[in-house]
Chains A and B, each alone.
Chain A
Amino acid sequence: MIPAAVIGVGQTNYKSKRRDVSIAGLVREAIDKALLASDVEWDAIGAVILGKAPDMFEGVMMPELYLADAIGAVGKPVLRVHTAGSVGGSTAIIAASHVCSGKFDTVLTVTFEKQSESNATWALSPRYPYSPHINAGAGGYFAPFIREYIRRHNPPENIGWKVAVKDRINALKNPLAHLQIPGIDEKMVSDSPMLWEPLRYLESCPSSDGACAMVIANKNLSNSRNAAWIKGMAVRSEGTLSAGRDEVNPQGGIDCAKDIYNQAGITNPRNEIDCAEIYVPFSWYEPMWLENLGFTDIGEGWKLTNEGLTELEGDLPINMSGGVLSSNPIGASGMIRFGEAALQVMGLAEDHQVKNAKVAMGHAYGGAAQFFSMWIVSSTKD
């Protein structure tokens, strides 16, 4: 595999409605920032890899066609990825594959969602012919998995509230984050309306407009640069109704994490990974994924959260940017995790920078907790 690195990340600010820009304008805003950050000209871009969640979120079918100009793809290869909520991460990995295969030196990848153009919960609750209609949306779908986690391990009630508070405090240090809630505390979270037992309003991700772009290049271009070297990347999928599937601690997530740790030569993720951006759209998913990713033993994840170890100044900072709980342009949410991990090891995360972060993880999941994409990035090439 040819070594590849992220040499520039560009993000829009995240808001519930970006009415000041079209879909094309939103996507281009992130791209312009990524190109500026990477100091790369359009001529250097060999291919463009576009990712987003379902087309019904905007009502544009196969939007790489409409966006060909805005994403600078005219005359170039363009690939459109869609792997449910994990898509932002999968797109980053497929973009890196363009480089690691030796086919391209430098590629541009961009993901977006402009949720204000449509209604995500409607789009996520399709009425399939010949099957019962589940008008659940994502929260309604995941709440039973969370209840099962709580039943198995009996953690204190306030773990979810703690995650919600911690991520929003981090968001206050990230000017791009959608939710900025000064003074947020556990009481504010526990007083917010119950949406899907046990998830309250403030334990849930927002609906955001936004885009995230990255430039990924091989060693020829990025030797002398500040770069986030990709040390391991992997995807795993399992069928929604696959027999024997454990939705609370999915095998796909376990296998995917092991795969990237092996590639990166990591034997003790808790000690060897300095910080991680993991996909936590609902508060309880922080402890659930900490266990699934092998940062701690099964049933112990909530203790890391409870002890404050996942805070920005903690032993294992998680979601320093504020995470999906603070900004959620669905199709981009995975790439934001991957891009924020890159920014950390490049030392460019500004107010939410983890001191001396050298190795970071990006993680995304999607579908019914069945699609996983992950990568490990490092500040050093070797």
Chain B
Amino acid sequence: MKKIAIVGYAQNKILASAGALNEVELIMPVVHKIFNSLGISQNEIDFTCSGSCDYLQGAAFAFVEGLSAIQTNPPIKESHVEMDAAWALYESMLKIQMGDADTALIYGFGKSSPGDLDSIISLQMDPYYISPLWPDRISLAALQAQVLLSNNIINEDEIMQAVIESRNNGLNNLNALIQTSITEDEYQKDLVLSSPLRVLDCPPISDGASAMIIASEDKAFNFSSNPIWIKGIDHRIETSNLGARNLSSSPSIKSAMKSLDIENTTFDIAEIHTQFSHEYPFLRKLLNLENVPINLSGGPLVGNVMMAAGLDAIGKVYEQLSTNSYKRGLAHATSGPCLQHNMLVSLEKNS
């Protein structure tokens, strides 16, 4: 199978509210940023794929408006997933592997500020039996947190440390929405939203956009002297029936690890799409990342652009491998309530 590398990644500074900025005004700056950094234009891109969600915009066809940010004359080969843009990356890789493209532009964007994310996420559940109860995203996450705590898979101190560490790491991330550290005392005094989760355990409402460019082995060095190779990518989904899921483990992550043959791989660095603090110690153990620096960007707790945050995890590992001495990194993206759908991407330098 063709080798594929990431050759560029760009992210807008994450905002608490992008105000009246529309899709085009969110996407165009980040796409221009990545093009300018590589000195290329849309003409060098064989396939374009985006990830977004109409429900965040509150109107059908958010991605159609967004396409106006891209040069489409002459018409382009383009597609869209109603998912996090990490899955747009997956689709783009298939196009390269089948020989239909050598380069791909991927972008993801989301504005959570105009709507009520708690109500919106409720609509991801069974529409007949569960959504009418309006389970909000924080209560659903808290359910899993409680299961993990009562099964002694994680403890409350680990949850708190995840928040503190994330905030400290975020201080070094110029694009982070939250750039303040917190103390244990501040954490303990924080309001509990849905036991055991406090406000500080939840990701901030975020607006933004990100973009990535990948290329086949034949073309990668045209863009970068230091491409970062995608060694493996896999994703799996679990049942939507929470009562039928074992929330204390993650069969989807385990089978993805197995299929990528990374159960015994030692990674130098990882970025995991942990939107809620309790997911951090849980996945750190599950992914065998106990002694590995994780979420040096601060992760979703310091900025969580819906439909881009998964792509950001991959992009942040790319950035770390590109600029530091790390050789091998793991990225994780997720979708759905309680880590229902998970993607793992292993990245490597100089292979």
Contacts and interface: CB of A to CB of B under 8 A. Distances in A.
Interface stretch (A61-69, A271-279, A292-300): A61-69
B77 A124 contact: no
Interface in A108-159: 117, 123-124, 126-130
Interface in A61-103: 61-62, 64-69, 73-84, 90, 94, 97-98, 100-103
Contacts of A117: 127
Interface string A238-249: 111111110000
Contact of A79 (B75, B78, B83, B340): B83
B133 interface: no
B87 interface: yes
A117 B127 CA distance: 10
A295 B20 CA distance: 45
A97 B100 contact: yes
B238 interface: yes
Contacts of A73: 237
Interface string B224-254: 0000000000111111110000000001100
A100 B127 contact: no
B194 interface: no
Contacts of B61: 54, 84, 126, 367
A7 interface: no
Interface string B69-107: 010111111111111000100110111011110000000
B20 A68 contact: no
Given A82-B82, A367-B64, A58 B127 contact: yes
B340 A251 contact: no
Nearest to B88: A79
Interface string A139-183: 000000000000000000000000000000000000000000000
Q: Is the interface on chain B under 10, 10 to 19, 20 to 34, or 35 or more residues?
A: 35 or more
A69 B126 CA distance: 11
A236 interface: yes
A82 B80 contact: yes
Contact of B67 (A2, A80, A234, A240): A240
Contacts of A83: 79-80
B79 A1 contact: no
A238 B72 contact: yes
Interface in B320-351: 335-337, 340-341
A60 interface: yes
B120 interface: yes
A23 interface: yes
Contacts, number: 199
Q: Is the interface on chain A under 10, 10 to 19, 20 to 34, or 35 or more residues?
A: 35 or more
A237 interface: yes
Interface string A212-252: 00000000000000000000001111111111110000111
A133 to B, nearest CB: 11
A22 interface: yes
Contacts of B73: 238-239, 242-245, 251
Contacts of A80: 81-83, 87
A127 B60 CA distance: 10
B65 interface: yes
B79 A235 contact: yes
B90 A79 contact: yes
A130 B240 contact: no
B214 to A, nearest CB: 14
A68 to B, nearest CB: 5
A81 B55 contact: no
Contact of A126 (B1, B59, B74, B126): B59
Contacts of B266: none
A367 B67 CA distance: 11
Given A62-B82, A236-B77, A69 B94 contact: no
Contacts of A2: 98
A368 B64 CA distance: 9
Nearest to B252: A75
Q: Which of B59, B234, B238, B251 lies at the interface centre, i.e. has the most chain A CB atoms within 10 A of its CB?
A: B59
A357 interface: no
Nearest to A23: B127
Contacts of A244: 73
A89 to B, nearest CB: 11
B239 A68 contact: yes
Nearest to B255: A75
Contacts of A58: 127
B235 A61 contact: no
Interface in A173-208: none
Given A75-B236, A237-B78, 15 more contacts: A56-B59, A58-B127, A66-B124, A66-B127, A67-B240, A68-B240, A74-B237, A74-B239, A75-B255, A84-B61, A129-B20, A237-B76, A241-B68, A251-B73, A367-B61
12 contacts: A56-B59, A68-B237, A80-B87, A82-B81, A97-B98, A128-B65, A129-B20, A130-B20, A235-B78, A242-B73, A251-B73, A371-B78
Interface of B: 1, 20, 22, 48, 53-55, 58-61, 63-65, 67-68, 70, 72-83, 87, 90-91, 93-95, 97-100, 114, 120-121, 123-128, 131, 234-241, 251-252, 255, 335-337, 340-341
